[in-house]
């Protein structure tokens, strides 16, 4: 194993970086709108089950496989087995990293753009008092129109995508400790602080309880088979699982850092932050009497005017989009790091070259996604009665197919190829001196059989069933 591989300076740094990867657009942009469309609390419930039953074991395995082999996804499988099949599973992860970043970078760009627009006071013109006819009807209609006008402009959308990817590249060029770690250590506390301000602000609004009960009182009638697929896909997406991102971050851990406690903490932080983001957003939406089922535009159409209408709204709107941008950046770096680590380990090229080369490829891959909103908007593909653009396809393909697929194979690998006993033996290596959960979890008698049964049977079977359902076979 290479001795010159960089390592996190401490386990806490790893946890912050991994939480930075997990907490992203998935928590703040995606979770609220899919929860909004799928019965609020009912969706939350199914999603939590997916996190606990499938997400947590797979998160443990990914980090562990990284820590044990000290390799990128392709190299990690190769280090454990000679069967070439597994190398391709790793390669699927590298492919997924392109696919995800190609649409992630576009939305990351919107977040930066909206932070800027909030800063210069653009959203003020959506409030009723300052309504300007240029954007159509006042309030969310005008904000939706503003969004439309901007995204229809290929230069705007490509420009901000370029800016987002450049920030990601800049951080990655500095390496693991001075890049990934420093960025997460600096940005994550700011993120938490902003989120707390927005939650408190949301809870003090009139009718805040309507927003809160939407998140916590289930509407089971909204649940369909599709909901399970969405919840599972989202559990993978939000925990950054199924394509080797956590594996790559785990490969910068030292063997003395234990995996189980770190996984619990990362999953816990990710879930709490998603729920907080839900509270911050739905309290505002409900207190203004708006529809929570606005879809992907929820954050970009509905929030700018609603936030600006509040007292001190200028600041809240700016803080919200800054929060979104920070979350997107600390996740974006983890997505690209997978393919960078792959090139550095397997092709032995310098980190700098690897970053620039991979970012160049992602840059090109993102162009069809960016142009899906303007030049290429008529190029759609019909799938399950919906016309999907390149952007929609990248999102759907990654979250609902590639990631669960990756998770499925990872469970099979851990259960049957690496061997569950070997996995558990490795899991027990490391100082379990965490102040958070203690080491009781690992030592308790129930842990081994429960972990082993979940990894060998429950994860693969459940993922497979959801998968068959999604392609319409059951």
Judged by CB under 6 A, does residue 22 bind ligand TRP? yes
Distance of alpha carbon 52 from alpha carbon 451, whole angstroms: 11
DSSP string, 236-294: HHHTT-SSSHHHHHHTTS-TTB-HHHHHHHHHHHHHHHHHHHHHHHHHHHHHTT--TT-
> Quick one: CA torsion of 259, 260, 263, 268, rounded to 10 degrees?
-150
Are 289 and 42 in contact by the 8 Å Cβ rule? The answer is no
**Nearest C-alpha neighbor of 27 from the set 107, 91, 122, 82:** 107
Are 259 and 64 in contact by the 8 Å Cβ rule? The answer is yes
Beta-strand runs (E) in 310-431: 381-383, 386-388
CB nearer to ligand TRP: give 99 or 139: 99
Secondary structure (3-state) at 4: coil
To ligand TRP, the closest distance from the beta carbon of 242 in angstroms equals: 6
User: Which of these ranges, 20-28, 168-176, 310-318, 385-393, lies near ligand TRP under the rule CB under 6 A?
Assistant: 20-28
To ligand TRP, the closest distance from the beta carbon of 244 in angstroms equals: 8
To ligand TRP, the closest distance from the beta carbon of 46 in angstroms equals: 17
Are 351 and 72 in contact by the 8 Å Cβ rule? The answer is no
Report the first-to-last Cα separation within the chain, whole angstroms: 45
Distance of alpha carbon 239 from alpha carbon 265, whole angstroms: 12
Judged by CB under 6 A, does residue 333 bind ligand TRP? no
To ligand TRP, the closest distance from the beta carbon of 392 in angstroms equals: 17
Range 208-247, binding ligand TRP (CB under 6 A): 237-238, 240, 243, 245
The structure tokens listed for 4 are: 């010159």
To ligand TRP, the closest distance from the beta carbon of 397 in angstroms equals: 12
- Scanning 300-446, the segments in alpha helix (DSSP H) are 303-309, 313-346, 351-371, 390-396, 403-412, 420-427, 440-443
Site string for ligand TRP, 351-390 (x = CB under 6 A): ----------------------------------------
Secondary structure (3-state) at 374: coil
Range 86-125, binding ligand TRP (CB under 6 A): 100
To ligand TRP, the closest distance from the beta carbon of 274 in angstroms equals: 8
The residue within the footprint of ligand TRP, chosen from 19, 25, 194, 279 (CB under 6 A), is: 25
Range 177-206, binding ligand TRP (CB under 6 A): none
CB nearer to ligand TRP: give 343 or 424: 343
Site string for ligand TRP, 390-419 (x = CB under 6 A): -------------x----------------
The residue within the footprint of ligand TRP, chosen from 26, 32, 36, 39 (CB under 6 A), is: 26
To ligand TRP, the closest distance from the beta carbon of 236 in angstroms equals: 7
**Nearest C-alpha neighbor of 455 from the set 433, 422, 429, 430:** 422
CB nearer to ligand TRP: give 55 or 415: 55
The residue within the footprint of ligand TRP, chosen from 13, 21, 251, 339 (CB under 6 A), is: 21
What DSSP designation does 71 have?
S
To ligand TRP, the closest distance from the beta carbon of 161 in angstroms equals: 16
Judged by CB under 6 A, does residue 38 bind ligand TRP? no
Range 241-280, binding ligand TRP (CB under 6 A): 243, 245
What is the gyration radius of the CA atoms in the chain, in angstroms? 22
Q: How many residues bind ligand TRP (CB under 6 A)?
A: 16
To ligand TRP, the closest distance from the beta carbon of 439 in angstroms equals: 27
What DSSP designation does 92 have?
H
CB nearer to ligand TRP: give 124 or 345: 345
Are 29 and 234 in contact by the 8 Å Cβ rule? The answer is no
Site string for ligand TRP, 303-332 (x = CB under 6 A): ----------------------------x-
CB nearer to ligand TRP: give 23 or 113: 23
Are 439 and 430 in contact by the 8 Å Cβ rule? The answer is no
Judged by CB under 6 A, does residue 27 bind ligand TRP? yes
Class of residue 145 by CB neighbours under 10 A (exposed 0-12, middle 13-18, buried 19+)? middle
Q: Is 181 left (phi over 0), alpha (psi -120 to 50) or beta?
A: alpha
To ligand TRP, the closest distance from the beta carbon of 324 in angstroms equals: 10
To ligand TRP, the closest distance from the beta carbon of 245 in angstroms equals: 4
User: Which of these ranges, 18-26, 430-438, 447-455, 463-471, lies near ligand TRP under the rule CB under 6 A?
Assistant: 18-26
To ligand TRP, the closest distance from the beta carbon of 117 in angstroms equals: 22
Are 325 and 115 in contact by the 8 Å Cβ rule? The answer is yes
CB nearer to ligand TRP: give 27 or 288: 27
Distance of alpha carbon 144 from alpha carbon 236, whole angstroms: 30
Binding region for ligand TRP (CB under 6 A): 21-22, 24-27, 100, 237-238, 240, 243, 245, 331, 334-335, 403
């Amino acid at each position: 194993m290479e001795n010159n591989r960089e390592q996190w300076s401490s386990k806490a740094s790893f946890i912050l970086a991994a939480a930075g990867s997990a907490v992203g657009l998935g928590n703040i942009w995606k979770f609220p709108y899919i929860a909004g469309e799928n019965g609020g609390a009912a969706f939350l419930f199914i999603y939590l089950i997916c996190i606990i039953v499938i997400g947590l074991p797979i998160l443990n395995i990914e980090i562990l496989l990284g820590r044990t082999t000290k390799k990128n996804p392709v190299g990690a499988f190769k280090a454990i087995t000679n069967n070439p099949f597994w190398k391709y599973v790793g390669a699927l992860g590298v492919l997924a990293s392109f696919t995800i970043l190609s649409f992630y970078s576009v939305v990351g760009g919107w977040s930066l753009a909206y932070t800027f627009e909030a800063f210069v006071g653009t959203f003020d013109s959506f409030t009723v008092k300052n309504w300007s006819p240029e954007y159509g009807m006042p309030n969310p209609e005008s904000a939706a129109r503003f969004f439309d006008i901007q995204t229809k402009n290929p230069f705007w959308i490509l420009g901000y995508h370029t800016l987002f990817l450049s920030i990601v590249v800049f951080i990655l060029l500095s390496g693991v400790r001075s890049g990934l770690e420093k960025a997460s250590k600096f940005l994550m506390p700011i993120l938490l602080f902003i989120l707390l301000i927005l939650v408190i602000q949301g809870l003090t609004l009139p009718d805040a309880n309507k927003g809160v009960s939407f998140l916590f009182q289930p509407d089971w009638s909204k649940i369909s088979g599709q909901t399970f697929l969405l919840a599972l896909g989202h559990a993978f997406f939000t925990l950054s699982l199924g394509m080797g991102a956590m594996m790559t971050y785990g490969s910068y851990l030292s063997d003395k850092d234990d995996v189980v406690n770190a996984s619990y903490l990362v999953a816990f932080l990710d879930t709490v932050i998603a729920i907080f983001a839900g509270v911050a957003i739905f309290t505002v939406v409900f207190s203004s009497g708006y529809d929570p089922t606005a879809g992907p535009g929820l954050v970009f159409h509905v929030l700018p005017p609603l936030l600006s209408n509040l007292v001190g709204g200028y600041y809240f709107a700016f803080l919200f989009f800054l929060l979104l941008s920070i979350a997107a950046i600390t996740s974006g770096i983890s997505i690209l790091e997978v393919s960078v680590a792959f090139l550095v380990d397997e092709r032995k090229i310098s980190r700098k070259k690897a970053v620039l080369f991979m970012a160049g490829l992602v840059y090109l891959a993102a162009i069809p996604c960016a142009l899906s909103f303007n030049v290429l908007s008529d190029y759609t593909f019909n799938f399950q009665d919906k016309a999907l653009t390149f952007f929609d396809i990248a999102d759907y393909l990654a979250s609902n197919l590639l990631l669960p697929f990756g998770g499925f194979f990872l469970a099979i690998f851990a259960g049957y190829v690496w061997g569950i006993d070997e996995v558990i033996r490795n899991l027990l290596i490391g100082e379990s001196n965490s102040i958070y959960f203690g080491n009781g979890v690992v030592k308790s008698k129930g842990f081994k059989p429960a972990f082993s049964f979940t990894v060998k049977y429950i994860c693969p079977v459940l993922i497979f069933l959801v998968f068959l359902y999604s392609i319409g076979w059951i």
